[in-house]
Amino acid sequence: MTITAAADGSALGNPGPAGWAWYVDDAHWQAGGWKHATNNMGELKAVLELFRATAHLDDDLLVLCDSQYVINTVTKWMRGWKAKGWRKGDGKPVMNLEIIQELDEVMAGRRYRFEWVRGHAGHPMNEAADARARAVSEAFQAGRPIPHGPGWPREDVETDAVAGVSQAASASRPLAEIPEPEIPDAEIAGAPDDTLAPDSELALFSLDDPDLHEVTLWLTDDEHIRLHERARQEGVSAEELLRGLI
C-alpha cells in the first residue's frame, strides 16, 4: 500500500510568521509553525513531520511537494553534504541543518519517493496542505490559536511526540467542546423554570439590540480552515461569506 501525502510551507514576509502542514485527507493531517521562520524551513519541516507521523506504518510513501529545494535536498544533495561533514560543494555550511539532519534520520529505512507538483495550480491535495500551512502562519501573525490538526490517529501506544500534538490541539479547541460538569438530579429537579430563558448567557442569539443579533459559532480546526480557504477563493472575508449564506 502507498500513502500519498502533500507537504507544504508558508512564511508571511519570508522570514516572518511561518507554518508547515502535511495532508492526506480530512482525517489525517497535521500543521504547526513558528513566530519567525523562512518558507524553506516550513517546507522541510512539513516533510519531516510527515515521516514522523507515519513511522509506525509499513507502507510506501509518496510525497507531493511544490518545492524543488526540498526535493533536491532529500533526493540529490543530502548524501553529498553528509559525506562532506554537512558542508556544501563550496565549503559553506548547509542552511537549515538541524531540520535536514533530522530528516536524514527519519528517512533511513523508509520506502518513499517524491513527486513535484506546481503550487497554487489547483491540485487538491497541494491546495489543502497550503491552506493549512498558511492558516498557521496567519494564526501566529494574529495571535490566534494554532490549528494543529488530528495528525495520524494511532490506536496502539502513543509516543510522547504524538501525545504532545494531541495536547496542543486540544488546547486550541473552542470552549464548546469542553464537557459540561455533571449536575446532580436533585439540583436539576429544583432548578427554577427561567434557567433556560432566552436572555441566558448560554443563548445562541443576543436580543439586547433590536437591529443587530450576535451569533456565536464554534468550529473545529478543519472547519475553520475550510471556511477561510473558501472565503479566500471568493475574495471576501469569512464574516461576509457566512452572511451571504443567509
Report which residue type is found at 221.
Answer: D
Q: How far apart are CA 114 and CA 44, in angstroms?
A: 13
Axis crossing angle, helix 39-53 with helix 124-142, rounded to the nearest 10: 120
pLDDT, average across residues 154-179: 38
Residue 133's closest CA among 40, 26, 20? 20
Longest dimension (CA), the chain: 80
- Verify that 30 and 105 share a domain, yes or no: yes
Q: How far apart are CA 95 and CA 226, in angstroms?
A: 34
- Verify that 70 and 110 share a domain, yes or no: yes
Q: Which residues pair with 10 in a beta bridge?
A: 19
- pTM value? 0.66
Q: How far apart are CA 36 and CA 23, in angstroms?
A: 23
Residue 147 pLDDT greater than 90, yes or no: yes
Determine which of 41-55, 141-155, 195-209, 225-239 has the lowest per-residue pLDDT on average. 195-209
- Verify that 200 and 156 share a domain, yes or no: no
Q: How many domains does the chain have?
A: 2
pLDDT in tens, 197-209: 333 333 333 333 3
Residue 133's closest CA among 39, 4, 15? 39
pLDDT tier for residue 237 given thresholds of 50, 70 and 90: low
- Does some domain include residue 184? no
- Verify that 45 and 165 share a domain, yes or no: yes
For 233, the domain range is: 192-243
- Verify that 145 and 230 share a domain, yes or no: no
Could you tell me which residues come within 8 angstroms of residue 94 by beta carbon, excluding any fewer than 6 positions away? 81, 86, 87, 88, 100
- Verify that 166 and 57 share a domain, yes or no: yes
pLDDT tier for residue 227 given thresholds of 50, 70 and 90: confident
Q: Give the domain CATH number at 80.
A: 3.30.420.10
User: What is the pLDDT, as a whole number, of residue 158?
Assistant: 45
- Does some domain include residue 176? no
- Verify that 234 and 164 share a domain, yes or no: no
pLDDT tier for residue 216 given thresholds of 50, 70 and 90: low
User: What is the pLDDT, as a whole number, of residue 179?
Assistant: 38
- Does some domain include residue 186? no
- Does some domain include residue 185? no
Report which residue type is found at 239.
Answer: E
Q: Which residues pair with 87 in a beta bridge?
A: 93
Q: Which residues pair with 4 in a beta bridge?
A: 62
User: What is the pLDDT, as a whole number, of residue 235?
Assistant: 59
- Does some domain include residue 130? yes
pLDDT, average across residues 206-235: 58
Looking at 119, 138, 171, the residue that finishes a domain is 171
- Does some domain include residue 179? no
- Verify that 102 and 196 share a domain, yes or no: no
- List the catalytic residues: 8-9, 43, 66, 120, 130
- Verify that 97 and 216 share a domain, yes or no: no
Residue 110's closest CA among 157, 74, 77, 80? 74
